[in-house]
Amino acid sequence: MTVIGVDDTDSRTRGMCTTYLATRLAARLGADGASVRRKLLIRLNPAVEHKTRGNAALALHTDADPDRALSLAAAELDPLAETDDPRTSPGVVVAPGSPDEVPNAVRSFSRRAVRDILDRESAVDLADRVGYRHRGWSGGRGQIGALAAVGAWGANGTWTHERIAYREFDRCGTPREVDEASVFDAAEAAYPTVWDTVDRTAGEAVCVPNAPGPILYGIRGDDPDAVEAVADRIRSEPVERAATFLTNQGTDAHLRDGTVGDLRDGGAYRVDGTVASDPETRQGGHVFFALRDRSDPASRVDCVAFEPTKRFRDRIRGLRPGDDLTVCGEVSGGTVKLEKFAVRSLRRTESTTPTCSGCGRTMESAGRDQGYRCRDCGTTAAERATVTLDRDLEVGWYEVPPRARRHIAKPLVRGGFDAPAHPER
Ligand code: ATP
């Protein structure tokens, strides 16, 4: 066996995307007499700055000879290096041997590529050390993702599937012709095995990208046959080619457990805390609140639900200081960009100034440490009153809607969460 990793082939001028390149390379290997056993689509750290879109890297598991594999991959990548698109910095890594036998150091690199920020030198050093063939073009930054894709088979614990249909090349850049009713019907029939195909509440076919490029639609789910069946039911312009990938999408592989005090920019976390401020809608419609550490109240971090998360913001607006949460998201500029959160406990009461039993009006302070009184009726109260809060939220997990989901984030409907889930669909 041979494992080929490729990354960073996106080019605005050529309308490329790495999944498309990998699909073409698989066809080329086939025409050359080799077979391709698996195609992997790996989402790496979504916080990487120079990603084009979803920070994808690709791997092919094939029986091609490693040298032949490298030269065929290079033949696909060479033309890309000719473009002067500064975003394109392709890399390829070829590992001789079975994907099951990738050395631990490469698996570990792959795990870190999903959660940390790595550099090209360490990728190239490691590839050399373990005897992999590799090449880079225009800086070769793609070698980071390519090596991570090679190690992914041994590094990743959970696999999901995506069926991607590609457009005829000449149509790239023109509006996509996809019959939305057929997308909604197919999505409904296969939910929840197949997820994030549409955003039902927003009435949006999220499987059809907006950005230019060769992808017509991508259908994601837990089962390869199910994603293919949904794709087959979609009526659209001609599909030039299609491929089914094993992916780490929808798995939360990017999240690590953290505490409020140890969050770092560029990482994504699952962190417990208590709401420390009333939610506030700021310019642009983004909703912020502060979260504090439960055992160290001085330790705080801002959390934000951005405007595109739409109705998720209403969940955030429903929070009150004192609510215990687990929040998940990437940290950037010292702020947690929320992807999902769990309500662990809700504050049910609030202390307020007492009201007069005679006239129903709010009492006034009777002076320092002297309780409250009603000037008109003369009634008094020694303490502040406790009122019950009306809460719209329940204990359990809430998430952004499908239209705002990050590729790697796990939809609640996939299950396995430690509290009741309130999935968006
Ligand atoms: P496409 O795959 O369609 O070309 P993309 O959104 O996946 O677009 P890329 O163009 O691949 O983005 O850019 C991502 C770049 O970041 C690649 O060069 C990749 O090697 C690199 N990269 C990936 N993960 C990491 C990481 N953890 N640390 C540093 N660099 C990374």
- Considering the chain, what is the average pLDDT of its residues? 95
Lowest average pLDDT, out of 5-19, 132-146, 334-348, goes to 5-19
Which residues are registered as beta bridge partners of 329?
A: 269, 338
The pLDDT-based confidence of 82 (bands split at 50, 70, 90) is low
Sorted by sequence, the CB contacts under 8 Å of residue 370 that are 6+ apart come out as none
Residue nearest to atom 16 of ligand 1 (CA): 51
Quickly tell me which residue has 């439960």 as its tokens: 294
User: Distance between CA atoms of 156 and 310, rounded to whole angstroms?
Assistant: 31
pTM: 0.94
Check residue 10 and give its pLDDT: 80
Distance in Å, CA 40 to ligand 1 centroid: 15
pLDDT surpasses 90 at 219: yes
Span from the CA of 11 to the centroid of ligand 1 (angstroms)? 13
**In this predicted model, what pLDDT tens digit does every residue of 50-76 receive, in sequence order?**
777 789 999 999 999 999 999 999 999
CA of 19 from ligand 1 middle (Å) equals: 12
Q: Whose CA is nearest to atom 30 of ligand 1?
A: 118
Whether 207 has a pLDDT exceeding 80, the answer reads yes
Mean pLDDT, rounded, for 308-321: 97
